[in-house]
């Protein structure tokens, strides 16, 4: 059951109106990470709520309490829960999106005003903060609803919505809301949800649509080495005392090799090697070593083998050294022996790794390596935060529907990808609801989410709207 032809046609003929909707959304600078913009995030919630209501969605704004930001206590912006359709014969799909955005100032290097959507008619780019992350996809869903309302078409599935305004600032309050609504059973907003669809990531490249079925988890560590009571002058005490930086650098050098192998015993070993069949998946992705090197702006791929590089990003754990707190970090030369230094590193986790399994291995290893240094300084290791990895079953009808929809709209087989980063709400939905979660991106890999000149290509927005609607029809058609 592909989407009706009139649906597709309506989207094409109303493209300009839909772009205006995106422009209206971008014009509200709903930056969750700046206290001074909090009112705009709330304004955005009300604007979106109004749109949903006018398109027939029953909603509730949920107060998520207060938090402290920049030393001020602030009310969190409300989350929006929505419901449309209660037909027991239809599948029920939960849609997630976020209406807050990253900070943006023209002075950061934008070519245009970040909160004014600019349509570049030459390139087809719709440029503005939030265009691709994540207002474009939310507007896509509104476009689908408007099309059905205008045409008097019935939706092929029941929909539930969960939109938040704090994703760019840690999704504060959302996990509790999801868990509590799930626990309520029949009384909860997520009762009867059959699957989840999240559009908040990107294609691998600028050519080929993708579906994402895995995310890495994370364990973030802080290694603290301290010795003297205060910072020392290296002239006075160099070679007279054990220096915390020397010890810390020695420890940090024992974590990972320049080609990415993790040296903490048991970490890499926990992950089963990919067999030839799995390697084929990576070799067949429309993403080359040259694409990776273009994306990072340097010829620094960790291997000349495509599968090795892509698996390194998608299905292998990785360990990155982020920096040191407490040491000299400025320009110029300062001859300090810092008294207390904290090395920061994190390990991206893949199944079956979890923070609970990994953290003890890291702590034990660091303590044993520190003992070998014979230093009189003191070591402590903290895990600052952690999150489990997530992998979905790509043989589930939810993925089958998305693959068919992609073929129908883009006439292409989508890349099936795992992402190296985390989208924590994905795991919350998967674990709380116990249903299949699909990541169905709208934008391209070069959209520059979080960066200057963020854009969504017009074709991704319009074809993406078709993709979202078509996915609902394909999902409805498959016998679960």
Binding window for a copy of itself (CB under 8 A); candidates: 69-77, 124-132, 206-214, 372-380? 372-380
- The single residue among 322, 412, 413, 459 that binds a copy of itself, judged by CB under 8 A, is 322
Check residue 338 for interaction with a copy of itself (CB under 8 A).
Answer: yes
- The single residue among 41, 292, 361, 430 that binds a copy of itself, judged by CB under 8 A, is 292
| 3-class DSSP state of 419 | strand
Q: Would the annotation count 463 as a binding residue?
A: no
Binding window for a copy of itself (CB under 8 A); candidates: 88-96, 127-135, 344-352, 424-432? 344-352
32 close to 167: Cβ distance less than 8 angstroms: yes
Tokens of 7: 């649906």
27 close to 471: Cβ distance less than 8 angstroms: no
- What is d(CA 317, CA 219) in angstroms, rounded to the nearest whole number? 11
Check residue 420 for interaction with a copy of itself (CB under 8 A).
Answer: yes
* In the complex, least distance from residue 305 CB atom to a copy of itself, rounded to whole angstroms: 12
71 or 235: whose CB is closer to a copy of itself? 235
Parallel/antiparallel/unpaired status of strands 66-69 and 72-75: antiparallel
Quick note: the x/- pattern for a copy of itself over 217-256, rule CB under 8 A, is -x-x-x----xxxx-xxxxxxxxxxxx-xxx-xx-xx--x
57 or 198: whose CB is closer to a copy of itself? 198
390 close to 214: Cβ distance less than 8 angstroms: yes
What's the number of CA atoms in the CB half-sphere (13 Å) around residue 395? 0
Binding window for a copy of itself (CB under 8 A); candidates: 129-137, 187-195, 297-305, 469-477? 297-305
Burial class (CB in 10 A: 0-12, 13-18, 19+), 163: buried
Question: Quick one: which of 57, 76, 92 has its CA closest to 164?
Answer: 76
106 or 450: whose CB is closer to a copy of itself? 450
Angle between helices 174-183 and 424-433 in degrees, nearest 10: 10
Q: Would the annotation count 67 as a binding residue?
A: no
- The single residue among 375, 417, 428, 460 that binds a copy of itself, judged by CB under 8 A, is 375
* H or E element that contains 321: strand 318-325
Query: Is 100 one of the annotated active-site residues of the chain?
Result: yes
* Catalytic entry in 40, 134, 164, 167: 167
- The single residue among 77, 173, 317, 443 that binds a copy of itself, judged by CB under 8 A, is 317
Check residue 138 for interaction with a copy of itself (CB under 8 A).
Answer: no
**Maximum Cα–Cα distance across the chain:** 83
* In the complex, least distance from residue 319 CB atom to a copy of itself, rounded to whole angstroms: 7
Query: Is 167 one of the annotated active-site residues of the chain?
Result: yes
DSSP 101: B
1 or 236: whose CB is closer to a copy of itself? 236
Check residue 385 for interaction with a copy of itself (CB under 8 A).
Answer: yes
| CB-based contacts of 398, cutoff 8 Å, min separation 6 | 195, 197, 392, 436, 437, 438, 475
Check residue 106 for interaction with a copy of itself (CB under 8 A).
Answer: no
Binding window for a copy of itself (CB under 8 A); candidates: 94-102, 105-113, 415-423, 435-443? 415-423
- What is d(CA 17, CA 324) in angstroms, rounded to the nearest whole number? 50
Rounded to the nearest angstrom, the gap between the alpha carbon of residue 450 and the centroid of all alpha carbons in its chain is 11
* In the complex, least distance from residue 406 CB atom to a copy of itself, rounded to whole angstroms: 22
* In the complex, least distance from residue 440 CB atom to a copy of itself, rounded to whole angstroms: 19
* In the complex, least distance from residue 44 CB atom to a copy of itself, rounded to whole angstroms: 25
User: Cα-flanking dihedrals φ and ψ of residue 344, to 5°?
Assistant: -110, 130
Binding window for a copy of itself (CB under 8 A); candidates: 85-93, 271-279, 354-362, 419-427? 419-427
What's the number of CA atoms in the CB half-sphere (13 Å) around residue 460? 33
* Catalytic entry in 100, 164, 194, 463: 100
98 close to 200: Cβ distance less than 8 angstroms: yes
What's the number of CA atoms in the CB half-sphere (13 Å) around residue 419? 23
Binding to a copy of itself, residues 199-218 (CB under 8 A): 216, 218
* In the complex, least distance from residue 233 CB atom to a copy of itself, rounded to whole angstroms: 6
Q: Which residues pair with 395 in a beta bridge?
A: none
Tokens of 42: 């709330």
Sequence ranges of the binding site for Mn(2+)? 98, 133, 168, 200, 450
Known catalytic residues are: 100, 167
């Amino acid at each position: 059951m592909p989407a009706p032809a009139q649906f597709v046609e309506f989207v094409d003929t109303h493209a300009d109106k839909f772009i205006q909707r995106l422009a209206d959304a971008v014009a509200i600078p709903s930056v969750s990470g700046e206290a001074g913009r909090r009112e705009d995030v709330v304004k955005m919630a009300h604007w979106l709520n109004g749109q949903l209501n006018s398109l027939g969605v029953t909603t509730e704004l949920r107060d998520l309490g207060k938090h402290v930001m920049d030393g001020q206590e602030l009310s969190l912006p409300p989350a929006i829960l929505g419901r449309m359709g209660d037909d027991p014969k239809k599948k029920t799909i939960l849609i997630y999106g976020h209406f807050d955005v990253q900070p943006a100032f023209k002075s950061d290097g934008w070519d245009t005003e970040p909160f004014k959507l600019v349509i570049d008619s030459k390139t087809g780019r719709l440029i503005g903060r939030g265009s691709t992350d994540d207002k474009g996809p939310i507007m896509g869903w509104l476009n689908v609803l408007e099309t059905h309302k205008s045409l008097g078409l019935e939706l092929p599935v029941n929909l539930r919505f969960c939109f938040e305004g704090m994703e760019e600032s840690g999704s504060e309050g959302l996990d509790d809301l999801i868990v509590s609504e799930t626990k309520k059973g029949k009384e909860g907003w997520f009762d009867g949800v059959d699957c989840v669809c999240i559009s908040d990531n990107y294609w691998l490249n600028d050519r080929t649509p993708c579906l994402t079925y895995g995310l890495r988890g994370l364990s973030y560590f802080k290694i603290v080495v301290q010795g003297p009571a205060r910072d020392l002058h290296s002239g006075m005490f160099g070679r007279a005392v054990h220096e915390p930086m020397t010890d810390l650098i020695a420890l940090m050098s024992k974590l990972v090799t320049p080609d990415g192998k993790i040296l903490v015993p048991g970490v890499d070993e926990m992950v089963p090697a990919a067999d030839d069949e799995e390697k084929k998946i990576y070799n067949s992705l429309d993403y080359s070593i040259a694409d990776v090197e273009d994306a990072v702006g340097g010829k620094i791929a960790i291997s000349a083998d495509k599968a090795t590089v892509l698996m390194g990003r998608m299905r292998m754990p990785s360990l990155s050294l982020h920096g040191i707190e407490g040491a000299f970090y400025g320009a110029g030369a300062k001859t300090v022996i810092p008294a207390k230094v904290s090395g920061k590193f994190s390990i991206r986790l893949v199944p079956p790794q979890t923070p609970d399994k990994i953290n003890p291995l890291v702590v034990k290893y660091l303590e044993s390596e520190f003992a070998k240094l014979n230093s009189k300084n003191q070591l402590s290791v903290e895990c600052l935060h952690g999150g489990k990895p997530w992998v979905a079953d790509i043989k589930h009808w939810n993925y089958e529907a998305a693959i068919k929809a992609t073929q129908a709209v883009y006439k292409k087989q989508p890349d099936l990808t795992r992402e190296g980063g985390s989208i924590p709400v994905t795991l919350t939905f998967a674990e709380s609801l116990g249903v299949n979660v699909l990541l169905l991106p709208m934008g391209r890999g070069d959209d520059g989410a979080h960066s200057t000149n963020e854009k969504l290509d017009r074709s991704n927005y319009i074809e993406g709207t078709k993709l979202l609607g078509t996915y609902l029809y394909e999902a409805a058609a498959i016998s679960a």
